Amino acid sequence: MEQQFWQEKWNANEIGFHQDSVHPLLEKHFASLGLEKGDRVFVPLCGKSSDIICLQKMGYEVVGLELSEVAAQSFFSENNLYASINDAGEYKRFQSAHIEILCGDFFSVTKEILGNISAVFDRAALIALPPEMRKQYAEKMQYILNSDVETLLIALEYPDSSVNGPPFAVFQKEVEALYGGWCTVELLEKADTEVKGTPCHEMAYRLKVS
C-alpha cells in the first residue's frame, strides 16, 4: 500500500474503514494495560479515529500519527477541537488539549518526535499493510518503543483470498513472528466479526516489550 493509495482514499472520502463508534475491544481491554492517567498513548496510522477521543477521555495524552492531512483536519473539525499547527521535523504537528496528531510517514518517525510513549493502541494499522510492510512496521515499533511499553493490538483472521485487503488477515503465527522476539504476546480475546460481508475473527493481543 503506497502512500498515494491512502492519500487518494482520503481525498475521495472513500474511508469505509472509519467507524464513528469507539472500538469495543478498546473499551473492554485497554484498562488491563495498567497505565496511569497522563501517560502518553501512541495511535499509529490513526486516521480520524473516534478511539483517540475515547483514550483522551480515559485520561491519557494521545499522540496519533497519520499520513493524510485531510484526516487530521477532519478529526479536529468534526470533534469541534481547535488545533494549533507546527512543524516538527518532516511532520506537521496538529495539537489540541491532550491530543496531538503528527502528519507524515510512520516509517520516518523517531523516539524524539514521539516523546515518551507508555502504550500503543493499534487498530487497523498493522492489518492495513501488506506482508512486506508489516515486517518493516514491527521493526520500526521495536526501534521506537522502550522496554515495558505495552500494546493493545487488534488483528483480523479470515480465510486467505476471501477478502481483498486491506484489511489483511494477520494470523496469530505472524503476530508471534513479528513481535515474539522482543515482546511477550498474549491473546486476550477472539471475537466474531464481519469484514466486507465475510465472517472473520477479530483478535485482541496484549504485547509487552521485554
Ligand X SMILES: C[S@@+](CC[C@H](N)C(=O)[O-])C[C@H]1O[C@@H](n2cnc3c(N)ncnc32)[C@H](O)[C@@H]1O
CA atoms within 13 A on the CB side of 120: 30
The residues in 87-146 that bind ligand X, with binding defined as CB under 6 A, are 105-107, 123-125, 128
- Grid coordinates given for 175: 503476530
Nearer to ligand X, 49 or 118 (CB): 49
- Grid coordinates given for 84: 494549533
Minimum CB–partner distance for residue 210 and ligand X (Å): 26
Instruction: Tell whether the torsion through CA atoms of 65, 206, 20 and 160 is positive or negative.
Output: positive
# chain residues binding ligand X, by CB under 6 A: 22
Dist. CA 9–CA 18, nearest whole Å: 11
Minimum CB–partner distance for residue 118 and ligand X (Å): 19
Nearer to ligand X, 184 or 204 (CB): 204
Among 71, 99, 114, 126, binds ligand X (CB under 6 A): 71
Q: Does 76 bind ligand X (CB under 6 A)?
A: no
Among 25, 26, 45, 138, binds ligand X (CB under 6 A): 45
Nearer to ligand X, 21 or 147 (CB): 21
Instruction: Tell whether the torsion through CA atoms of 86, 92, 96 and 99 is positive or negative.
Output: negative
Nearer to ligand X, 2 or 36 (CB): 2
Cβ neighbours, 10 Å, residue 24: 14
Dist. CA 205–CA 207, nearest whole Å: 6
Q: Does 66 bind ligand X (CB under 6 A)?
A: yes
Query: Please, what is the Cα angle at 184 between 61 and 208, to 5 degrees?
Result: 10
Nearer to ligand X, 8 or 148 (CB): 8
